[in-house]
Chains A and B, each alone.
Chain A
């Protein structure tokens, strides 16, 4: 056996080892997808069976029972899952864009922007006479939240002078977030009768999701997921560093613009429908990475699945634990997601 043969031999084993690793990863991705889909289905069934009296499936076929199940519980459960999926997807996009595992989808000010929009609308509705209040109600808190979120992200882009520098974008986003948060607090101080309604928004609320909101979330989810999958190879290149990505012939600015747009739309839509639910966007990609080490293409889709499962689980628990009272769903996402992550870290360390 000469040395050339030896080199070939080592090359072959290395290649087969890589192949084995990739096979194992692909198996894990399939396993994780299956598990997340099964959990989603199970939770959707639970969601249709848990109501204001706790565990109480209504399959008796009366008209009232059907209406409760199909007008209230099913859209609420689906909507919670979709909002969680949007947040998880946006979190994975944000962590890819900023190349930082602590990035979360609210980083560009969209959360407090939405809070400000909602606070202003609540005060306006209180101040407006009857008919105008009706018109404002038509715009709805969801509309105001979405507009506020978009305004905050646009302001962040203006302050950061575009998407040239990721760090500048991050700083501008933090500043805009803090300023809008302060403005929202000012509005609440100025008109304390909106405090309770605001608190419900700030802690997240899935209780008032109907078919309209759910369909909006579904449409936005399909749109953002399509865009994200198109951008996923660019995220893989970005993971190697900006210089490396540029040398691969990537138009960095176009990619960043696309990513910022996708994150803004996803968080704006989710926040508008369910309020400021913390932690889902941050933790969903970590839950995925703890199980598999996929390329961004799979990571994005799986983060959406993980986020959906997390928020739907929190929603079902929020109506179940103290029924007929509700727990703020944001509190439960933090508890569930945090507990899971801690358990993972503990298991790793052992």
Chain B
């Protein structure tokens, strides 16, 4: 037994130092013989994570919706949420593909012999875990530093909310339906850090489809929504009664701001600042 152990230790020590095994969110252990140099990401937040870790130069392909930092906009596009272009991805000869753990491309790329890592990112804890996982895979440090920066940014945003605006009740609409960002979504978690009160409880799921009557009853002081959906809010039955609409405290986020808010990634400090500005009335459109 002891001899076996010694042999095992010898074998492990003899292995190249650069080989690393990382586990992704599916619980699959991925072995990387050397630090990946050619990375393809299939989710905007994952591309942003790689760049935040200072490895932007290792990206060789990104998904159709990646637009930050500006340098990724010149990279080859390899498809969208449900239509990854497998051939294009293989053609780029990546030594690591990062994508959503629910993506249909996972199995296909794996079968083609590409190292893939699937991530499931919904909450702040997920963001931290994914930062660490990607940093391990790339064999770079700095994941904790990025996380600290995000935390400090969120704290600074919270300090910029005037004291009398603490405890403001908020309804955040992710999509007309209406689908809301609840307390348990990353948006809800940041709102809580800013001292706001989300009217949609976390037990309903991260992005529940609500009975519109619920929002009328909750009567939030502030509504946050995308510009696209905000125009139609006042036309919903009973909604003109809501305080936020009566007092003109509806924040309409542009598509660009929407990307910052909706992507659970390294730009969450900016997302927090946007929501803080909204709470403080620096964004709200007074009608």
Contact = CB atoms under 8 A, between A and B. Distances in A.
A205 B175 CA distance: 14
A227 interface: no
Interface in A175-215: 189, 192-193, 195-197, 199-200, 205, 207-211
A67 B246 CA distance: 15
A71 B237 contact: yes
Given A137-B231, A325-B204, A52 B237 contact: no
Contact of B211 (A122, A193, A319): A319
Nearest to B230: A133
A210 B236 contact: yes
B28 interface: no
A270 B252 CA distance: 30
A42 B232 CA distance: 32
Interface in A316-343: 319, 323-326, 328
Contact of A72 (B81, B178, B213, B231): B213
B211 A51 contact: yes
Contacts of A72: 212-213, 216, 237-238
Contact of B238 (A67, A134, A200): A67
A286 interface: no
Contact of B241 (A53, A67, A130, A134): A67
Nearest to A325: B208
Interface in A55-89: 64, 67-68, 71-73, 75-76
A26 interface: no
A324 B80 contact: no
Contact of B65 (A51, A52, A192): A192
A130 B228 CA distance: 8
Given A67-B241, A192-B81, A324 B214 contact: yes
Nearest to B65: A192
Contacts of A196: 174-175, 177, 179, 207
Contacts of A210: 235-238
Contact of A197 (B80, B176, B214): B176
Interface residues of B, number: 37
B217 interface: yes
A197 B212 CA distance: 14
A52 B258 contact: no
Interface string A119-159: 00010011000100110110011000000000000000000
Contacts of B210: 52, 324-326
Contacts of A125: 228-229, 231
A73 B209 CA distance: 17
Nearest to A75: B237
B255 interface: yes
A51 B176 CA distance: 19
B144 interface: no
A51 to B, nearest CB: 5
Interface in B125-182: 174-179
A179 to B, nearest CB: 19
Interface in B91-133: none
Contacts of B23: none
A71 B82 CA distance: 39
Contacts of A64: 241
Contacts of B177: 196-197, 199-200, 205, 207
A208 B212 contact: yes
Contacts of B213: 51-52, 68, 72-73, 319, 324
A52 B211 contact: yes
Contacts of A137: 231-232, 235
A189 to B, nearest CB: 6
A75 B128 CA distance: 46
Contacts of A319: 211, 213
A189 B209 contact: no
Interface of B: 65, 80-83, 174-179, 204-205, 207-214, 216-217, 226-229, 231-232, 235-238, 241, 252, 255, 258
21 contacts: A51-B217, A52-B213, A52-B214, A72-B212, A125-B231, A130-B252, A133-B231, A136-B231, A137-B231, A141-B232, A196-B174, A196-B177, A199-B177, A200-B175, A200-B179, A209-B237, A210-B236, A210-B237, A210-B238, A211-B237, A325-B205
Given A324-B214, A326-B209, 20 more contacts: A51-B217, A68-B216, A73-B213, A133-B227, A137-B232, A137-B235, A140-B232, A140-B235, A189-B82, A192-B80, A193-B175, A193-B226, A196-B177, A197-B229, A200-B179, A207-B212, A210-B235, A319-B213, A325-B204, A326-B211
